[in-house]
Amino acid sequence: MTPLRQRMLEDMSIRNLTDNTKLSYVQQVGLFAKYFHRSPEKLGPQEVREYQVYLTLTCKLSASSISTVTSALLFFYRVTLKQH
């Protein structure tokens, strides 16, 4: 497990998120990083937007699924990385 993933899991535990939410958020951030073939800490708002467009237009995900992805990425960037 990478130190970044460990830190995100710790941040989620501190906030008492459910195990299902933790699993979903880690999975979503991992898929985001895999899409760009880079660590998510090296990606920014432009990549988040590009990924959302990809999920919406190419993958045809529902609005609730896009919301889950967005929530995971918001948590990762705002809480774990302390970025806006």
Spatial contact of 26 and 8, defined as CB atoms under 8 Å apart? yes
Mean pLDDT of 2-15: 97
Look up the pTM and report it.
0.93
Could you report the per-residue pLDDT of 19-71, keeping only the tens digit for each?
Answer: 999 999 999 999 999 999 999 999 999 999 999 999 999 999 999 999 999 99
- Residue 1: per-residue pLDDT: 85
Q: What token pair was written down for 1?
A: 């497990």
Cα–Cα distance between 33 and 39 in angstroms, integer? 6
Q: Is the pLDDT of residue 84 over 90?
A: no
For the chain, give every domain's residue range.
3-80
Residue 3's CB: how many other CB atoms inside 10 A? 7
Domain spanning 3-80 has what CATH number? 1.10.150.130
